[in-house]
Amino acid sequence: MPSAIVVRELSKSYGSVEALRGISFDVAQGEVFGLLGPNGAGKTTTVEILEGYRDRDGGEASVLGYDPGSGSRELRERIGVVLQQSELSPNLTVRETHQMFGGYFANPRDVDEVVELVGLGEKRDARVKTLSGGQKRRLDLGVALVGNPALVFLDEPTTGFDPAARRAAWEMIRALRSLGTTILLTTHYLDEAQQLADRVAVLRGGEIVRQGTPSELIGDSRVTEIRYRRDGELVVVESSDPVRDLNELTSQALAEGTELGQLEVRRATLEDVYLELVDEEEAGVE
Amino acid sequence: MLLHQLRFEQRVFWRSREAAVFVFIFPLLLYALLAAVYGGEIDGLPAADVLLSGLFGYGAANTALAGLAIILVGRREAGTLKRLRATPLPPAVYLAAVLLSTLVTFTLQAVGLLILGGLAFDARMPANWLGFVGAIVLGVACFAGLGLAAAALIRSAEGVSAAVNLIVLPMAFLSGSFGAHRDFGPVVQAIADVLPLTYFLDIVDGVYLDGSSLFSDPKALAVVLAWGAAGLAVALRWFGWMPRER
């Protein structure tokens, strides 16, 4: 099966600022791929090149077999986008907004079905301006889906959501995935990438510093954390050989007859790996 | 797809109270006020007739220049245009729908002026109906061209309403939309002599009051079309779909 997205040595500068320094990745069909990174890492630039908004300076990009820089209408028939910031007409209703966008596509989805899918069934006849922030974001998603796209770009789809709304959005994205839709997701929430993405690329300063499944990235990590309290003070040991270190620690405690209060052994989460990667930059270490 | 978008453009327009009041009602209201204040005659013609012609011209500029610029700048800066660019809707079809929607709105406004004038002020009906219809299309073509230029050059959604009114209102005064020309000083007169609305009103006076042909004053027609074309050229060069970087 051909890849939905192929990116090779993609580069882009804004003036003297190199936003992308030759990144490469593939997104398989039906996959949820997460672009993870701090603000300014190049996530939105990457997505906007693939959506056709920005021209690349160098490298190759292919989206569903099309060059995104060609402005092809056939490509736009098959993608859906959720932008970070975009407003829809405040005076149309939820249903009308879906109808309007559906009319741009050759084979749109059923409007009411999409409105239900994004959880706006009860708001179908409400004007857009009366929706809450989270509901507007769901409307963005619905409008991205109404054209029945094979590939959906979600640029920070849950930024600003409360935890409940975020979980609801995750459910929607999982439902979308189960329909076979390929999803390219950017986020700076690590739990979001861990929850949703089949594979993740961590971007930092315009480069991909790590790429793989969330568990591969975690497995990469050198760090297992051993925490305990001794005489009331918290001790944190970062161990690359936790079996040996734990054995020593507990043998010693047994021999001395001391307690290891609140002993805890923690495998790194994606967050730890991510912070490790981002911290390397701050420490000036490559 | 054009009709699909036109339908939604009209729906969006009439549901937006600010747009409907400012763009559609305001010229009708001004006509009613001015016609009520100036009874009698202007330049030997019934004031209600002269003012109807003048407010028709103001309405064209207000609807197609100010109204269009406000719609487009607002949508661009809100990211609405950017979002549309990712859909299969061709940009030319979208713009055509927005322009046709402007034409529909101004046609309804012109009909509104005639009904209001005829019923309340005993104003005459157009002496040349066909020319009057032609003037509606000509006015929208010229001022929409300038509206696109204004939308290309004005980058602030907050400032666009003030900026376009700063263009349209003085132009309407100088061109004689709100009553006959007074004796302007030479500088002001020189400005008035290049404004598109001055020439557009000559044409409207011709078809509405005198019953002459839309093409009877080739110079006026050429000036009006040249302004529209100049606006279009500016728009083609500078109009973008992306909001300002934030």
CA nearest to B84 within chain A: A101
- Which among B134, B131, B130, B135 is positioned nearest to B56, based on CA atoms? B135
Tokens of B64: 């197609």
Smallest Cβ–Cβ distance between B12 and the set A51, A52, A92 belongs to A92
Of residues A105 and A274, more confidence is placed in A105
Domain boundaries, chain A: 3-218, 222-282
Q: Is residue B133 scored above 90 in pLDDT?
A: yes
pLDDT tens column, A22-57: 999 999 999 999 999 888 899 999 999 999 999 999
Q: Is residue A273 scored above 80 in pLDDT?
A: no
The average pLDDT across A123-129 equals 96
Domain count, chain B: 1
The average pLDDT across B83-110 equals 96
Tell me whether A77 touches chain B (CB under 8 Å). Answer: yes
Smallest Cβ–Cβ distance between B86 and the set A52, A90, A103 belongs to A52
Of residues B67 and A262, more confidence is placed in B67
Q: What is the pLDDT of residue B77?
A: 95
Cβ of A51 within 8 Å of Cβ of B15? The answer is no
pLDDT tens column, A196-208: 999 999 999 999 9
CA nearest to B86 within chain A: A76
Distance separating alpha carbons of residues B155 and A67, to the nearest angstrom: 31
Distance separating alpha carbons of residues B18 and B38, to the nearest angstrom: 28
pLDDT tens column, B156-169: 999 999 999 999 99
Tell me whether A126 touches chain B (CB under 8 Å). Answer: no
The average pLDDT across B178-195 equals 84
Supply the mean pLDDT for chain A.
88
Residues of A in contact with B8 (CB under 8 A): 89, 92, 96, 100
Cβ of A89 within 8 Å of Cβ of B12? The answer is yes
The CA distances from residue A60 to A34, A46, A49, in Å, are 20, 12, 11
Query: Could you tell me if B170 and B235 are in contact, meaning their C-beta atoms sit under 8 angstroms apart?
Result: no
Of residues A150 and A274, more confidence is placed in A150
Tell me whether residue B244 is in a domain.
Answer: no
Q: Is residue B178 scored above 80 in pLDDT?
A: yes
Q: What is the pLDDT of residue A222?
A: 63
Of residues B179 and B142, more confidence is placed in B142
- Which among A140, A125, A126, A199 is positioned nearest to A172, based on CA atoms? A140
Least confident of A144-158, A265-279, B34-48: A265-279
pLDDT bracket for residue B237 (50, 70, 90) = very high
Cβ of A83 within 8 Å of Cβ of B80? The answer is no
Q: Which CATH architecture has domain A3-218?
A: 3-Layer(aba) Sandwich (3.40)
- List A5's β-bridge partners, or say none: A27, A63
The average pLDDT across A75-97 equals 94
Q: Is residue B182 scored above 90 in pLDDT?
A: no
CA nearest to A144 within chain B: B87
Q: What is the pLDDT of residue B163?
A: 96
CA nearest to A152 within chain B: B86
Distance separating alpha carbons of residues A64 and B180, to the nearest angstrom: 64
B residues 70-89 lying closer than 8 A (beta carbon) to A: 78-80, 82-83, 85-89
The CA distances from residue A246 to A218, A231, A243, A264, B153, in Å, are 20, 18, 5, 10, 68
Q: Which strands, in side-by-side order, build the sheet including A3-14?
A: A17-28, A3-14, A58-63
Cβ of B83 within 8 Å of Cβ of A86? The answer is yes
CA nearest to A98 within chain B: B8
Q: Is residue B246 scored above 70 in pLDDT?
A: no
Q: What is the pLDDT of residue A252?
A: 86
The CA distances from residue A201 to A159, B18, B241, in Å, are 19, 46, 30
Task: Kindly give, in sequence order, each residue whose CB lies less than 8 Å from that of residue B20, ignoring residues fewer than 6 positions away.
Answer: B13, B14
H helix runs in chain A, sequence order: 43-50, 73-78, 94-102, 111-117, 133-145, 163-178, 190-196, 214-220, 242-256, 270-282
How much is the pTM? 0.87
Q: What is the pLDDT of residue B71?
A: 95
Query: Could you tell me if B55 and B113 are in contact, meaning their C-beta atoms sit under 8 angstroms apart?
Result: yes
Distance separating alpha carbons of residues A164 and B12, to the nearest angstrom: 33
- Pairing mode of beta strands A32-36, A199-204: parallel
**Interface confidence (ipTM) of the complex:** 0.92
Which residue range forms the structural domain that includes residue B86? 2-238
The average pLDDT across A246-253 equals 86
B residues 121-160 lying closer than 8 A (beta carbon) to A: none
Residues of A in contact with B90 (CB under 8 A): 73
Q: What is the pLDDT of residue B84?
A: 96
Q: Is residue A282 scored above 70 in pLDDT?
A: no
The average pLDDT across B9-29 equals 92
pLDDT bracket for residue B65 (50, 70, 90) = very high
Tell me whether residue B243 is in a domain.
Answer: no
Tell me whether A107 touches chain B (CB under 8 Å). Answer: no
